[in-house]
Amino acid sequence: MPVDESNPLKKAAELLQKAKYAIALTGAGISVESGIPAFRGKGGLWESYPVEEYATIDAFIANPRKVWNFFRDLYDTLGSAEPNPAHFALAKLESRGILKSVVTQNIDGLHQKAGSREVIEFHGNASSLRCLNCEMVIPFEECEAMSAEIPVCSCGGLLKPEIVLYGESIPVDSLMDAQDEALLCDLMLVIGTSAQVVPASMLPLIARQRHATIIEMNLGQTWLTEHYADISVFGSVGSTLPEVAHLILGDYIDT
Ligand SMILES: [Zn+2]
């Protein structure tokens, strides 16, 4: 496929096909088309649940009953969400050896649901609960304590979804794995995020310093467009990512 400078989407596909170690960094924008509103956007969860009252570890410990109302609403939103064509496109690119891993800021588990295998989650995943006392991890589906107003572990400790709240640190393993991937990659797709929030913001920087190609795929211009992106593909990622995958894989279908 010849390089087409005038068509960022085709150029993105060509560079991705040539890359030796391509990875993706994803954010809330990839899941909007799955019915999960960006937390900070209009209609996002933070409109109903102010961050400082509901999404900090201190708020949870001070008033678990109140914060569990927020968690239940979060589970309702996540429970009805299905992967969209953008998630499937990434899973297919991985299964065909084009993409090595996905680093995500999302907690919705939709990459795995779409079939992605190498997924590094910066902010945890809502699919399990962890006891703040004994550290036991219980899959959400198997947690009998969910019927209680405040779910507690058999040891009496508070159960909390394994998502990273404000005031909690990013899991060290995820951080190290993501940094390793950013160091290794020669191409990074940045999808549905402006990657301005630490620690995700470090990854394009690390990759860039190692002369990796940065391809941004967002609805419109972001901070990345000016600063780090070699190529910016604008538009709904539910359309653009399957198109990129189709250009590379030919026989690609999005389900
Ligand atoms: Zn416990």
Domain with CATH 3.40.50.1220 in the chain: 1-36+83-123+170-255
> How close is the Cα of 58 to the center of ligand 1, in Å?
19
What are the DSSP calls for 110-136, one per residue? HHHHHT--SEEETTEEEEEEEETTT--
**Is 123 in the active site?**
yes
What is the CA(137)–ligand 1 centre distance, in A?
A: 9
Query: Is 255:88 a contact under the CB 8 Å cutoff?
Result: yes
| Cα–Cα distance measured from residue 141 to residue 158, given in angstroms and rounded to the nearest whole number | 17
Which residue blocks in the chain are alpha helix, DSSP H? 8-18, 45-48, 51-54, 57-62, 64-79, 85-95, 110-114, 172-184, 202-209, 223-227, 237-249
Q: Which pTM does this prediction carry?
A: 0.90
The CATH number of 1-36+83-123+170-255 is which of 3.30.70.260, 3.40.50.300, 3.40.50.1220, 3.20.20.80? 3.40.50.1220
Cα 73 to ligand 1 centre (Å): 24
CATH tag, 39-80+125-163: 3.30.1600.10
- pLDDT tens for the 255 residues of the chain, in order: 444 567 999 999 999 999 999 999 999 999 999 988 766 666 677 778 888 899 899 999 999 999 999 999 889 888 889 999 999 999 999 999 999 999 999 999 999 999 999 999 989 999 999 999 999 999 988 888 888 899 999 999 999 999 999 999 888 999 999 999 999 999 999 999 988 888 888 999 999 999 999 999 999 999 889 888 999 999 999 999 999 999 999 865 544
Q: Enumerate the CATH 3.30.1600.10 domain ranges in the chain, comma separated.
A: 39-80+125-163
The DSSP 8-state label assigned to residue 43 in this structure reads T
